[in-house]
Homo-oligomer: A and B are copies of this chain.
Amino acid sequence: MEDGKLTVRAVERALDIMLCFTGASELTLTEIATRVQLHKSTVHRLLASLEGKGFIMRDEATDKYRLGYRLWELSANLSKEGDPGIILLPEMERLRDQLGETISLYVQDGLVRVRIQAVQSNHAIRRVAPVGARMPLYVGASSKVLVAFAEPGLLEQLLTSADWPTGLDTQAYLQQLSDTRRAGFATSVEEREPGAAAVSAPILDRGGRLVAALAVSGPANRLTLELMQEQAPTIMEAARRMGTMLR
């Protein structure tokens, strides 16, 4: 073996298959096979193994493959008291009540970010934030946080990606990332969405590794840059507390 990684190929392939399902909830065998660049029979055997253990299931109606509920069971063991999405909810609600704006939780997933949990602002005019929404990783406050605190490889991947917006000033972007790392939070004003603004801070686990980005977002006329900078310490403190809840 050349690469020096003491690892088992079949397992990595099986895990890659599971990762195909981020962004696509149902896939056929051949769709999976083309995505992971393997032959149908290989994928079929790996899927059979995954299905046997409940990590993958098949939709009765469409006969397509989807993720299995075993994953839900396991994710309940991630933190002290169960599912992180549930654990962090009270803290998010507290922050919402304190700041009055919509609170979201994002994780990086490949070259996009996913909104994994959200509590809505009580204002009449508010950002609507559906859980499960996927958005690009190159604009927005949470994107900056997710990239700035991620493993170094991600940035490189992003910059060389075909989706990278050609009009963007790379120098300025890299500066923003290092600013984010230093300050411990990021802001954005009408970056991803006209009329919207956001502040975001990283949630880190005990080892200091990035788990998710906590974000406060709302209309740009209410969330001015000054206000967001004023609120940043509160948000960072909430994110820190949330990190400790995940063990």
Asked if A80 is an interface residue, CB under 8 A from chain B, the answer is: yes
| Interface membership of A33, Cβ < 8 A | no
A52-60, A156-164, A214-222, A228-236 - interface stretch: A52-60
* A69-B211 in contact (CB<8A): yes
Contact B8 A46 (CB under 8 A): yes
Is A85 a contact partner of B76 (Cβ separation < 8 A)?
yes
Indicate if A2 sits at the interface (CB-CB under 8 A): no
Q: Is A136 an interface residue (CB 8 A)?
A: no
Cβ–Cβ contact B75 & A71, under 8 A: yes
Q: How far is the CB of A9 from chain B (nearest CB, A)?
A: 8
Instruction: Give chain B residues whose Cβ lies under 8 Å from the Cβ of A16.
Output: 53
Closest Cβ of chain B: how far from A139's Cβ, in Å?
21
Q: Which residues of B contact A23 (CB under 8 A)?
A: 77
Interface range for A = 35 or more
In the bound complex, CA of A206 to CA of B63 (Å):
12
- Determine whether the beta carbon of B78 is less than 8 Å from that of A67: yes
CB closest residue in chain B, given A206: B60
Q: B10 to A8, Cβ gap below 8 A? A: yes
Q: Is A5 an interface residue (CB 8 A)?
A: yes
**Proximity string of chain A (124-136) to chain B, C-beta cutoff 8 Å, 1 when within and 0 when not:** 0000001110000
Q: Check A15 for interface membership: any CB of B closer than 8 A.
A: yes
Q: Which of A73-131 contact B (CB under 8 A)?
A: 73-78, 80-86, 89, 107, 109, 114, 116-117, 130-131
A169 CB within 8 Å of chain B = no
Q: Name the residue of chain B whose CB is nearest to the CB of A108.
A: B73
Q: Is the CB of A107 within 8 A of B22?
A: no
Contacts of A114 in B (CB 8 A): 73, 76
Contacting residues, chain B, for A18 (C-beta < 8 A): 74
A194 CB within 8 Å of chain B = no
Which residues from B are CB-within-8-Å of A83?
A: 72, 75, 83, 85-86, 116-117, 131
Q: Is there a chain B Cβ closer than 8 Å to A247's Cβ?
A: yes
**11 A-B contact pairs sorted by A residue (CB < 8 Å):** A8-B14, A12-B52, A15-B49, A15-B53, A58-B207, A60-B206, A67-B77, A69-B84, A71-B71, A76-B131, A76-B132
